[in-house]
Amino acid sequence: MKIADIVIRAGRSLKQAKARTLLTSLAIGVGAFTIVLSFAVGAGGRDYASNLISSNTNPRELFVQPIQDANNDPTKPQKYSETPTMSFGAFTTKLLTQDDVDLIAKVGGVTSVTPIYMAKIKYIVAEGQDKYLASIRAFNDGVTLEYTSGSSDGINADGIIITDNYLEPFGFASASDAIGKKVQIAVDRANSLPINLDVKIYDLSVVGVVESSVFAASPISGMQVSNEIIKSIYDYSQQGTPTYGKYSGAIVLTNADADMNTVKGDIVDAGYQADTPEDLMSFIFQFIDVLQAILVGFGILAVLTSVFGIINTQYISVLERTQQIGLMKALGMRRRDVGRLFKLEAAWIGLLGGSIGGVLAIIAGTIANPYISESLNIGSVKLIIFEPFSIVAVIIGLVIISVVSGILPARKAAKLNPIEALRTE
């Protein structure tokens, strides 16, 4: 008997027991729904994390900082160290010095080393407008920006790149209208008394306007100026403080042809901690993987439960169709073909259940995406992304599991004696 004929016959047999077939398929569909949705959540989470990395870092950069004490227990006395430190409440972190920066710059494959300056501004203001809080950072030409107007040209002079959510507060009619307009940033000294009005004003020209990205590390971190201005702000605000000339870390830019892992290893051998952008975000990927594994686990439990449903359904089908099996054998159907018939029936159940679960998962994810994005305030970013390959893989996997579940009932049907089967009432 041809395989195509057996497949058609298997479909007809299941059609005769629609309710039972549908209920068994729905049991598998629950597992398929959970597994497909978990893969989509994992894909969306990883895509969001990857965009977060690419929007805030240069892939050729390393973040370097001193190796921190492993046993930094704030409840116990701490050993004195000549290494400069900074305290945050009960916790203490070591800092880099200029000597450290110079030493790191000598490592092979390093193009430049830029200290992370603690540059904090008091406020930013446009002419005739109210003052606003903002944070600024050094412009990095290795990070891709979505300009709505202007560019980075002029940033190394007295230029500043602002985000489009400051256009209205600054009184600019549009992004193009902002280009060339003046803004001021005010900086005060970190060690000033409250009565000290010693504030330094920086006059800057807007050279570019970028979209305020939901992938930004901070919602107001889009203000960018040259590294020279950042250093000037740092020098003015921190001079005279214990941490002046000390840095929490440094950004190391590697050569385009240098191996990142080799440079990282050399810096670590020099006595520092070095991390790639992926290293810094590894905890997010780990969290996503753990969450996905938990969801997949629930789906697998549902599938395992449905396996017993398939076995039970197929055994009942064998008992109900004993005479029919005997007749097929009497007419020349081989034992192998009888076994295939019941295995293919199980495959049809798996295919139907997997397809139902996959379709329902896609519908649920599509409906949930905008609500999730709105509740997390991430714009139109999708955190549930369905990948066709993973959906197909889940369905194929469920079909295989169903076939395996149908092996025992199929063997029972194949071993039936045709004479005894025909005499069964």
DSSP string, 361-416: HHHHHHHHHHHHHHHHT-TT--S----HHHHHHHHHHHHHHHHHHTHHHHHHHHH-
pLDDT at res. 124: 92
pLDDT at res. 90: 53
Say yes or no to pLDDT of 260 above 90.
Answer: no
Mean pLDDT of 264-272: 90
CA separation for the pair 264, 24 (Å, rounded): 55
Mean pLDDT of 85-101: 74
Average pLDDT of the chain to the nearest whole number: 81
pLDDT at res. 333: 72
CA separation for the pair 179, 205 (Å, rounded): 8
- Spatial CA neighbour of 100 closest among 61, 67, 52, 122: 67
Q: How many CA atoms lie within 13 A of 249 on its CB side?
A: 14
pLDDT at res. 198: 76
Mean pLDDT of 108-134: 89
**329-373 pLDDT, tens digit each:** 676 677 777 777 778 888 888 888 899 999 999 999 999 888 888
In the chain, pLDDT over 70 holds for what percent of residues?
Answer: 79
pLDDT at res. 79: 62
Say yes or no to pLDDT of 75 above 80.
Answer: no
Handedness of CA 144, 47, 258, 268 (dihedral sign): positive
pLDDT at res. 46: 83
pLDDT at res. 237: 86
**8-26 pLDDT, tens digit each:** 666 666 667 677 778 888 8
Ranges of H-type helices in 17-141: 18-56, 98-105
Say yes or no to pLDDT of 96 above 80.
Answer: yes
- Spatial CA neighbour of 397 closest among 351, 330, 331: 351
Distance of CA 134 to the CA centre of its chain: 27
In the chain, pLDDT over 90 holds for what percent of residues?
Answer: 21
pLDDT at res. 415: 72
pLDDT at res. 423: 62
Contact between 13 and 321 under an 8 Å Cβ cutoff? The reply is yes
CA separation for the pair 78, 74 (Å, rounded): 8
Residue 189: pLDDT band (50, 70, 90) is confident
Handedness of CA 164, 170, 174, 180 (dihedral sign): negative
**Position with higher pLDDT, 402 vs 322:** 402
**237-253 pLDDT, tens digit each:** 888 787 788 888 898 98
